[in-house]
Amino acid sequence: MSETYVNPVDPPDEPFELLDPDGRPTGIVKPRHAVHRDGDWHGAFHVWIAWRDKSGSPFVLLQRRSRWKDTMAGMVDVSVGGHYRAGEQPGSRLRRGGPAQSAVLRELREELGLAVRAEALVPVGRRWMECAGPGWVDREVQNIFALPAAPKGLAPDSGEVEALLIVALADLRGLVAREREMAPAREFPVRARGVLDAPREVALTVEQLVPDDDGYWEQMAETLLRLLAGVPAGWFELGRRAPRSEERGR
């Protein structure tokens, strides 16, 4: 008799609140597996951790996604990414109080073992993202944050994160702008209980990155470089559809 497989990393029954195509919460709740099966719009967030080392050179922390993830398994991704559970989405009628960025802080803690204050997060943009694979369609409205501080006390969840990578921001920008074929990086494999193995030198290529078709990687590399240079990060939106009210006014 076969047993039903339950993904321990991405629980299929995790409740998500659906968004309309403009990114507004609808109050409708569906389980994770049904949202990804049906291609419903839902809320997510990214945090990009970047800092300057003692010499002043800017670096960024990336992660290699666990092979157990339900989407983009094994790909190199942003520092931290997660979903808003039902009742956590900013602006939702289902919210039960608590800090506006409680979901983001929770994910930083659970995924990387980092305790971060909400005021340390810098909102830099919003992104409408659509992608698909065998048996799933992912439509997310992502709130994007920068965390301009060197990470201390990293203890990644080995179920979520296969490895951490540190990359010079200038090299990453050159890679995603197609100005170079690879970017040197230090990769730290993650063992059980959040222990990091000794780093190994690797060559990061575009093919290893979670793909984009909207210039997101390049946009974020430039945003982080500005922020670490003391220039206001600004605000961007990618893939945004004109709200229906705007379309009617045209």
* Domains of the chain, start order: 15-239 (3.90.79.10)
pLDDT above 90 covers a percentage of the chain that reads: 86
In the prediction, which pLDDT does 243 show?
58
- pLDDT tier at 92, thresholds 50, 70, 90: very high
Q: Which residues of 78-117 are buried (b: 16+ CB within 10 A; e: fewer)?
A: bbbbbbbbbbbbeebebbeeeeebbbbbebbeebbebebe
CB 112 within 8 A of CB 105: no
In the prediction, which pLDDT does 8 show?
58
Q: And the tokens for 216?
A: 């997101």
Q: β-strand 122-133 against 136-148: which pairing, if any?
A: antiparallel
DSSP H or E run through 58:
strand 58-65
Distance CA 103, CA 46 (A): 11
Tell me which of 68-72, 104-108, 172-176, 221-225 is least confident: 68-72
Over 70: is that where the pLDDT of 233 sits? yes
Contacts of 96 (CB under 8 A, 6+ apart): 87
Q: What is the mean pLDDT of the chain?
A: 92
What is the model's pTM?
0.92
CB 173 within 8 A of CB 225: yes
In the prediction, which pLDDT does 6 show?
44
Over 90: is that where the pLDDT of 119 sits? yes
Contacts of 212 (CB under 8 A, 6+ apart): 129
In the prediction, which pLDDT does 218 show?
98
**Residue range 160-188: average pLDDT?**
98
Over 50: is that where the pLDDT of 1 sits? no
Contacts of 84 (CB under 8 A, 6+ apart): 16, 17, 42, 43, 44, 45, 103
Distance CA 57, CA 33 (A): 42
Q: Which residues of 120-155 are buried (b: 16+ CB within 10 A; e: fewer)?
A: ebbebbbbbbeeeeeeeebbbbbbbbbbbeebeebe
pLDDT tens digits, residue range 126-158?
A: 999 999 989 999 999 999 999 999 999 999 999
Over 60: is that where the pLDDT of 246 sits? no
CB 123 within 8 A of CB 144: yes
pLDDT tens digits, residue range 10-66?
A: 899 999 999 999 999 999 999 999 999 999 999 999 999 999 999 999 999 999 999
Q: How far is CA 17 from CA 23, 83, 172, in A?
A: 11, 10, 34
Higher pLDDT, 139 or 7: 139
pLDDT tens digits, residue range 182-193?
A: 999 999 999 988
In the prediction, which pLDDT does 183 show?
98
In the prediction, which pLDDT does 241 show?
66
Q: And the tokens for 127?
A: 């992104």
